Amino acid sequence: MTENINKEAIKIAYLYEDLMNTYGDSGDVKVLRYLLNQQGFNVQVDNVSIDTKTFDAKNYDFLFFGGGQDFEQTVVAKDLPRHGETIRNYIEAGKPMLAICGGYQLLGDYYKTSDGTTIKGLGILPLHTVFKADARMIGDTKYETEWGTVAAFENHSGRTYFDDKNKLKPLGKMIEGFGNNPEDHVEGMRYKNTIGSYSHGPILKNINVADAIAKMIIQNYQARTQVTMTE
């Protein structure tokens, strides 16, 4: 769209895109890019990874953190703490973030894996994840959210439990599948404008959720670029 040619792009930071994308979650970023482009915004996506020297989350309008296998999570968890403070400040400021599966787990305190390794998370969200030997949670999921029904796919061995149920709210109530764990019958997490979820598929093929997140991103973009203009 010509009127936006000189407008600064909406900036998305894709955390560890090269390591945390075993489950096709890059589709979420593609859906958002499409929706935002349709509304006349240019979109820039930066991969923030092991070789990224500095990362300041407040320069971004959206953070995305996809799912990954235990091994890749171990690699990412070693590098992640250097970005912990900027991600924490971003989340606490109420800016939008979507973290899927392995990325969701890494925002919590820890993930104890099938081989007994404890992967330390950023500890921003009061939740923890543990492996239990009975079954991997794999299959279709369906759940009810504030934006309506969501249909997706889950594939995880970690079971996530909230340690502060006043602070963290579930993203949805299960209709089908496991979600966070087999006992609580809830899926994912909402804290301010940060959403954690076990949903692949990708989750944002559910246009109700994609539209809600695109709206949050535009609001954040407008706030960020207005501040920049008056600085």
Give me the DSSP letters along 87-100. HHHHHHTT--EEEE
Based on CB atoms, which residue is closest to ligand GLN, 36 or 66? 66
Cα gap 28→34, rounded to integer Å: 10
Based on CB atoms, which residue is closest to ligand GLN, 43 or 186? 186
Cα gap 183→176, rounded to integer Å: 13
Catalogue the active-site residues: 101, 200
Beta bridge partners of 129: 111, 160
Residue 38 C-beta: closest distance to ligand GLN, Å: 29
Judged by CB under 6 A, the number of residues near ligand GLN is 12
- Phi first, then psi, for residue 203 (nearest 5°) are -55, -35
Residues 162 and 168: beta-carbon distance below 8 Å? yes
Residues 156 and 101: beta-carbon distance below 8 Å? yes
Among 39, 69, 208, 226, binds ligand GLN (CB under 6 A): 69
How is residue 59 annotated by DSSP? Answer: G
28-36, 61-69, 118-126, 222-230 -> range binding ligand GLN (CB under 6 A): 61-69
Residue 175 C-beta: closest distance to ligand GLN, Å: 20
What 3-state DSSP class applies to 86? helix
> Binding pattern to ligand GLN, positions 21-60, x when CB under 6 A?
--x-------------------------------------
Residue 24 C-beta: closest distance to ligand GLN, Å: 10
- Phi first, then psi, for residue 10 (nearest 5°) are -70, 130
Based on CB atoms, which residue is closest to ligand GLN, 89 or 155? 155
Based on CB atoms, which residue is closest to ligand GLN, 158 or 196? 158
Structure token pair of residue 87: 């991600």
Binding to ligand GLN (CB under 6 A) within 140-179 occurs at 155-158
Cα gap 56→18, rounded to integer Å: 19
Distances (CA, A) of 137 to 86, 170, 178: 32, 18, 7
136 in a known ligand binding site: yes
Based on CB atoms, which residue is closest to ligand GLN, 3 or 115? 115
11-19, 62-70, 83-91, 213-221 -> range binding ligand GLN (CB under 6 A): 62-70
Among 32, 86, 90, 102, binds ligand GLN (CB under 6 A): 102
User: Cα dihedral angle (144, 147, 153, 156), rounded to 10 degrees?
Assistant: -80
Q: Which residues are annotated as a binding site?
A: 136
Site of interaction with ligand GLN (CB under 6 A): 23, 67-70, 73, 101-102, 155-158
Binding residues for substrate are: 136
